Structure 1
């Protein structure tokens, strides 16, 4: 009985939420989806700023190093990362960065959207499956 309960609890946490690795994948995409060399050129960043950005992008070399920091709050990477980018760029250049690379939206909100799209998609999939099962059950 105990084993079933634990399995059920685990399924519950992963079934309904965004898995830890999905947060990490978003984090990785926030680095790989953007050509930081272009950012540096577009925003006329100083060598120091460019180095700080590169250091920030290289901070976590793999899932384990990232997970050690964010294991209890995987959602927090976005606030950490983008407030740090804002500090490096300064408010004005950060505004230009958001306009060009995030259509003017707060990147944190963009990644929250990804998370919700993921949930929506999962929900639709199971609904479609249930509807299909129901319809296939009724043969006239």
Structure 2
């Protein structure tokens, strides 16, 4: 019985850590997918604003430092990060930032949507498989 309980606990732990790493990967993409030097040039940011953005991007240099902050709410990084970017840039420049880099959408919503993409695709593939299987059986 103890072995079953331990196995279930380990499964839960690994399942959670996998989900956590997906959030962390989104967090890293939110930094790496944007050329921050171009952002600074395009939006005519001050040296102070550029330094604050660079500091924000360097805040969590690895998974462990990120996870210490977001262990219980891994999806909170989006709101925290983009609220901080808006604070640094100011509303007007933040709106331009969203327009240029997120096609006018709220980046928080973009990453919320991304986290569900895999689920949608898995369901869709499963549905296709079932439909194809049914076609094969009817012939």
TM above 0.5: yes
Q: Deviations over 1:64-84 (max 9, x none)?
A: 110110010000000000000
- Structure 2 counterpart of 1:29: 29
CA distance in 2 between counterparts of 1:133 and 1:71 reads: 41
Is residue 86 of structure 2 the alignment partner of residue 86 of structure 1?
A: yes
- Structure 2 counterpart of 1:50: 50
Residue 139 of structure 1 deviates from its aligned partner by 9.6
TM-score (norm 1): 0.83
- Structure 1 counterpart of 2:123: 123
**Structure 2 residue runs without a partner (length 5+):** none
CA distance in 1 between counterparts of 2:56 and 2:109 reads: 20
CA distance in 1 between counterparts of 2:115 and 2:47 reads: 34
Residue 112 of structure 1 deviates from its aligned partner by 0.6
- Structure 2 counterpart of 1:96: 96
CA distance in 1 between counterparts of 2:44 and 2:76 reads: 29
- Structure 2 counterpart of 1:109: 109
CA distance in 2 between counterparts of 1:77 and 1:87 reads: 15
CA RMSD in angstroms, aligned pairs only: 3.0
Q: Identify if the C-alpha distance between structure 1 residues 59 and 92 changes in structure 2 by more than 3 Å, giving closer, same or farther.
A: same
CA distance in 2 between counterparts of 1:134 and 1:2 reads: 41
CA distance in 1 between counterparts of 2:8 and 2:133 reads: 25
Paired positions, count: 138
